[in-house]
């Protein structure tokens, strides 16, 4: 007996999951269960994090007559569920007005309700078949966990998009007013030595407005302009931009000689590296070392950037990607929030760690195109 999806395939499920995907997965598993004698009915109950409620999939053995509506209502009522066995254990239950034998194998308990596989068979099932049901439940549990993670990620992306749009709108109104006064100053200071400074202010506001437009674009996944980019060259661009402060603090930046190609939005991903490296430079002590490294795997790359600064507190680890939380004096607290949003849009992940020896490390996983 083999399960419908291998563990390897499951761990490579795309980040574009939908409610129909998990339903199809459960349908396939229920069909495989009812293909095993003496099982003639399989019912899978799971929590759909996108629909925000519990769903079910029902399947009968081929040529099996369906249950009456009354019997289905009884099964869904869970009046027969007299206790709650541990997750991934198979337990027999008595069903009222049913001559058949019922088993359930819990997948989990979410929102005060159980998720489970319910099996109804003509006779007692063997130990081997119970083991098969357990493995099926474990696979379903893994899929549901991935699906729940995707649901949380989608909610988080939506929250970040809302924040970016709200902040962008507020900043744009203020910039527009400052820009108007700067323009009037330029006109009113003709043949005046102060006109040059008023012009610089006006030009700086124009640059800020362009940057703000890019920031708002980061909040829209559909605007990703993905193209093959060299990872090492992109990190070097960010280092070059920070070179004056690097030289001032006499910092050493270690960078691998190897590289890889990623399909990413160059401007947005550069913003990620700009932010992480800027923080590393800011918190590094004079004569400190910043290590940049990456491990290249078949379908992804793991990027690590660490410094020798004061490190992160437990509170930092919890709030580091939260909007408006900043450890830098005068910081907006949006840099790492935007960085995480960009990474999520690229179907990657980012997290921070406290280094045992000293300092902080930020790790990023990004998908990479398979060769050939």
Distance from C-alpha of 334 to C-alpha of 10, rounded to nearest angstrom: 34
Q: Torsion angle, CA of 22/23/28/32, rounded to 10 degrees?
A: 110
Length of the chain: 372
Distance from C-alpha of 8 to C-alpha of 369, rounded to nearest angstrom: 18
Residue 315's pLDDT is what? 86
- Pair type for strands 252-254 and 261-265: unpaired
- Closest by Cα among 65, 82, 75 to 119: 75
> What residues pair up with 254 in beta bridges, in sequence order?
291
Residue 17's pLDDT is what? 52
Distance from C-alpha of 72 to C-alpha of 40, rounded to nearest angstrom: 15
Residue 221's pLDDT is what? 52
Q: Are 77 and 56 in contact (CB under 8 A)?
A: no
Only one residue has tokens 């935007």, namely: 338
DSSP class per residue in 233-272:
HHHHHHHHHTHHHHHHTT-EEE--S---EEEEEHHHHHHH
Distance from C-alpha of 348 to C-alpha of 365, rounded to nearest angstrom: 5
Ranges of H-type helices in 47-87: 69-77
> What residues pair up with 236 in beta bridges, in sequence order?
none
Residue 45's pLDDT is what? 94
What 3-state class would DSSP assign to 125? Answer: coil
Burial per residue of 138-160, b for 16 or more beta-carbon CB atoms within 10 angstroms, e otherwise: bbbbbbbebbbebbeebeebeeb
Residue 214's pLDDT is what? 60
Q: Are 290 and 254 in contact (CB under 8 A)?
A: yes
Distance from C-alpha of 288 to C-alpha of 359, rounded to nearest angstrom: 10
- Closest by Cα among 90, 100, 95, 103 to 122: 100
Which domains, from first to last, does the chain contain?
7-153 (3.30.450), 224-372 (3.30.565.10)
Distance from C-alpha of 29 to C-alpha of 89, rounded to nearest angstrom: 17
The tokens for 235 are 């990190």
Rg (the chain; Cα; Å) = 28
Residue 133's pLDDT is what? 94
Q: Are 105 and 116 in contact (CB under 8 A)?
A: yes
> Can you list the residues of the chain whose pLDDT is less than 70?
1-19, 150, 153-154, 156-157, 160, 169, 210-211, 213-223, 330-332, 370-372
Residue 76's pLDDT is what? 94
Residue 208's pLDDT is what? 76
Order of strands across the sheet with 113-121? 53-60, 39-48, 113-121, 101-110, 91-93
Only one residue has tokens 């009222």, namely: 96
């Amino acid at each position: 007996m083999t399960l419908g999806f291998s563990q390897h395939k499951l761990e490579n499920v795309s980040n574009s999951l939908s409610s129909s995907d998990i339903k199809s997965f459960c349908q396939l598993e229920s069909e495989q269960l009812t293909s095993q004698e003496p099982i003639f009915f399989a019912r899978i109950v799971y929590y759909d994090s996108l629909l925000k409620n519990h769903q079910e999939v029902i399947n009968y053995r081929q040529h099996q007559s369906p249950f009456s509506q009354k019997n289905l209502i009884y099964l869904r009522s869970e009046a027969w569920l007299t206790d709650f066995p541990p997750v991934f254990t198979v337990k027999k239950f008595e069903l009222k007005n049913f001559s058949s034998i019922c088993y359930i194998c819990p997948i989990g308990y979410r929102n005060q309700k159980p998720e489970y596989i319910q099996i109804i068979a003509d006779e007692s099932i063997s130990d081997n078949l119970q083991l098969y049901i357990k493995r099926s439940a474990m696979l379903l549990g893994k899929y549901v966990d991935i699906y729940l993670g995707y649901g949380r990620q989608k909610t988080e992306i939506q929250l970040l998009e809302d924040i970016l749009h709200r902040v962008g709108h507020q900043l744009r109104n203020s910039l527009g007013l400052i820009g108007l006064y700067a323009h009037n100053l330029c006109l009113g200071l003709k043949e005046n030595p102060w006109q040059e400074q008023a012009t610089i202010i006006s030009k700086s506001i124009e640059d800020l407005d362009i940057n703000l437009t890019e920031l708002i674009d980061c909040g829209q996944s559909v605007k990703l302009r993905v193209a093959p980019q060299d990872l090492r060259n992109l990190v070097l661009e960010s280092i070059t931009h920070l070179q004056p402060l690097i030289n001032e603090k006499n910092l050493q930046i270690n960078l691998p000689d190897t590289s890889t190609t990623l399909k990413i939005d160059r401007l947005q991903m550069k913003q990620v590296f700009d932010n992480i490296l800027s923080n590393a430079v800011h918190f590094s002590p004079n004569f400190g070392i910043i290590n940049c490294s990456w491990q290249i795997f078949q379908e992804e790359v793991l990027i690590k950037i660490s410094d020798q600064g004061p490190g992160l507190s437990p509170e930092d680890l919890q709030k580091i990607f939260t909007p408006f939380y900043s450890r830098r004096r005068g910081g907006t607290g949006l840099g790492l929030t935007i960085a995480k949003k960009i990474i999520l849009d690229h179907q990657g992940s980012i997290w921070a760690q406290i280094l045992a020896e000293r300092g902080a490390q930020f790790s990023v996983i990004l998908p990479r195109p398979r060769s050939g």
